[in-house]
């Protein structure tokens, strides 16, 4: 027996077009294997007459009114792929309040207002799924939800911005300038409409904030992540690092150590021999360390129309099954409350780029209490520096420091709430 689910979609850009294309292509299979007919009743756009890359199926209404979808009592499931924050938030709230399940690709919104929207979804007995918001085509959120339910995640390290990885890979491999590589990423449709969030690390930070909710039951705040982007990285730096066995990557990391969460989004020198050092172009990768499975790595396209649309549609299928069976399962309640520390605060080794002479560098390195070793012209390796030593060095010299992956000195911070032996009453 086939159940028909009435679907409305907000937005018809890159991801929306992919959703329509894939849905049309696999509709018969979904009906045969899942017993579901997904009827795309209406699509809301801002400009009715704008040219479209993909045709809507016969019988799908095109409207320029969001209310036509979120207020239509026949529509049971709303796909939000508009890519705005304030308008999308209002639309999702309206849909949830009227009992519709929602699937969204909106990482900015789910990172910043996810807890509020998830609570609203639970209150109204609706699903709110957002697989497509992190790592494009990699089914990482559902994997964390389903396959790690009996495991305990300790580390998540990802390359989760396809545009930044595309730019850094192009600068390293073909010597392209930053600007040239960015233009190519925009032309390929990987970058956001305004690529600022891609290159400043904000996009990766939003995705990390969401990943942390799934991995540790604790969403991070933007202040805690304090992202550093790739705008100051040069082609010369990428190539010098690569000559000596490192790839500069925009890494997003969150780890649990000794009752604390440590996080960071920043350019990091990743050894080329590491799996993450070999992830190039728009590819994303998420490496997970967990108690039961150990090390696992998930890779795939981090952006692109059909890959992201597939993540949207896999959520749509689960939400549609739940509607048919009258169960809703929006999960990921915020349950953790560990103190959060930025990984940049830990002592660690750095690749240093500076045009100063080795004599000058040596002098200031001695003053900052660290040792320095030349790697290639203008590129040096520094032994583990504390945050204070790093700041002292940066105050004295024009020097750019890129942390080297895996060199952090994990010293558990002193927990001031714990009584020390000297003040325990006996
Ligand atoms: N601009 C994003 C990226 C798209 O480059 O990863 C997918 O979120």
| pLDDT of 208 | 98
Say how many residues make up the chain: 426
Ligand 1 proximity of 198 Cβ (cutoff 6 Å): yes
Q: What is the mean pLDDT of residues 378-395?
A: 91
Residue 280 has a CB neighbour count (10 Å cut-off) of: 16
Q: What is the mean pLDDT of residues 248-259?
A: 96
pLDDT digits (tens, 9 = 90+) for 403-412: 999 999 987 5
Q: What is the set of active-site residues?
A: 207
Lowest mean pLDDT among 68-77, 106-115, 215-224, 353-362: 353-362
- Specify the pairing of strand 283-290 against strand 153-159: antiparallel
Residues whose CB falls within 8 Å of the CB of residue 132, separated by 6 or more in sequence, listed in order: 15, 81, 103, 104, 105, 308, 309, 311, 312, 315
Residues whose CB falls within 8 Å of the CB of residue 102, separated by 6 or more in sequence, listed in order: 77, 78, 79, 80, 92, 95, 96, 121, 126, 127, 128, 129, 319
Nearest to 179 by CA among 233, 111, 217, 221: 233
| CA-CA-CA-CA dihedral for 408, 409, 412, 414, to nearest 10 | -110
Q: How far is the CA of 191 from the centre of ligand 1 (A)?
A: 6
Nearest to 383 by CA among 350, 343, 344, 345: 350
- Give the rounded percent of residues in the chain with a pLDDT score beyond 70: 95
Q: Whose CA is nearest to atom 4 of ligand 1?
A: 303
CA angle (139 as vertex; 135, 142 as ends), nearest 5: 120
User: Is the torsion defined by CA of 135, 263, 127, 331 positive or negative?
Assistant: positive
Q: What is the mean pLDDT of residues 18-45?
A: 97
| pLDDT of 415 | 45
Q: Which atom of ligand 1 is nearest to the CA of 163?
A: 5
pTM for this entry: 0.93
**How confident is residue 191, by pLDDT bands cut at 50, 70 and 90?**
confident
Ligand 1 proximity of 210 Cβ (cutoff 6 Å): no
Q: Kindly tell me if the per-residue pLDDT of 228 is higher than 80.
A: yes
The Cα 257–Cα 270 span in angstroms is 21
| pLDDT of 424 | 33
Ligand 1 proximity of 192 Cβ (cutoff 6 Å): yes
Ligand 1 proximity of 408 Cβ (cutoff 6 Å): no
State in Å, rounded, how far the first CA of the chain is from the last one. 72
């Amino acid at each position: 027996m086939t159940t028909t689910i009435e679907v409305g979609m907000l937005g018809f850009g890159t991801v929306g077009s992919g959703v329509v294309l894939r849905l049309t292509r696999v509709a018969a299979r979904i009906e045969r294997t899942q017993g579901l007919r997904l009827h795309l009743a209406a699509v809301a756009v801002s400009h009715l007459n704008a040219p479209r890359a993909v045709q809507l199926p016969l019988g799908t209404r095109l409207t320029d009114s969001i209310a036509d979808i979120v207020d239509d009592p026949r529509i049971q499931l709303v796909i939000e792929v508009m890519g705005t924050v304030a308008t999308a938030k209002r639309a999702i709230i309206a849909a949830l309040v009227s009992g519709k399940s929602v699937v969204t690709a909106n990482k900015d919104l789910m990172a910043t207002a996810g807890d509020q929207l998830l609570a609203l979804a639970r209150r109204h007995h609706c699903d709110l799924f957002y697989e497509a918001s992190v790592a494009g085509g990699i089914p990482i959120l559902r994997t964390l939800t389903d396959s790690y339910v009996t495991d305990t995640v300790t580390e998540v390290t990802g390359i989760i911005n396809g545009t930044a990885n595309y730019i850094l890979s192009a600068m390293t491999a073909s010597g392209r300038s930053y600007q040239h590589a960015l233009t190519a990423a925009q032309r390929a449709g990987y970058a956001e409409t305004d690529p600022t969030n891609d290159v400043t690390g904000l996009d990766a930070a939003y995705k990390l904030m969401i990943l942390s909710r799934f991995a540790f039951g604790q969403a991070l705040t933007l202040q805690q992540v304090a992202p550093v982007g790739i705008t100051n990285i040069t082609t010369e730096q990428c190539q010098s690092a690569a000559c000596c066995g490192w790839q500069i990557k925009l890494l997003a990391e969150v780890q649990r150590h000794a009752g604390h969460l440590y996080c960071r989004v920043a350019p990091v020198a990743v050894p080329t021999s590491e799996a993450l050092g070999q992830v190039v172009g728009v590819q994303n990768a998420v490496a997970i360390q967990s108690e039961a499975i150990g090390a696992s790595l998930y890779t795939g396209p981090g952006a692109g129309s059909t890959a992201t649309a597939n993540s949207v549609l896999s959520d749509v299928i689960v939400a549609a099954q739940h509607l048919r069976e009258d169960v809703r399962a929006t999960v990921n309640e915020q349950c953790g409350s560990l103190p959060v520390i930025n990984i940049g605060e830990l002592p660690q080794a750095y690749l240093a780029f500076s045009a100063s002479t080795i004599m000058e560098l040596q002098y200031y390195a001695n003053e900052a209490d660290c040792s320095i070793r030349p790697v290639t012209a203008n590129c040096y390796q520094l032994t583990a520096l504390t945050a204070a030593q790093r700041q002292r060095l940066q105050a004295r010299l024009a020097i750019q420091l890129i942390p080297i992956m895996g060199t952090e000195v994990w010293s558990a911070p002193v927990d001031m709430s714990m009584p020390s032996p000297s003040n325990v009453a006996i």
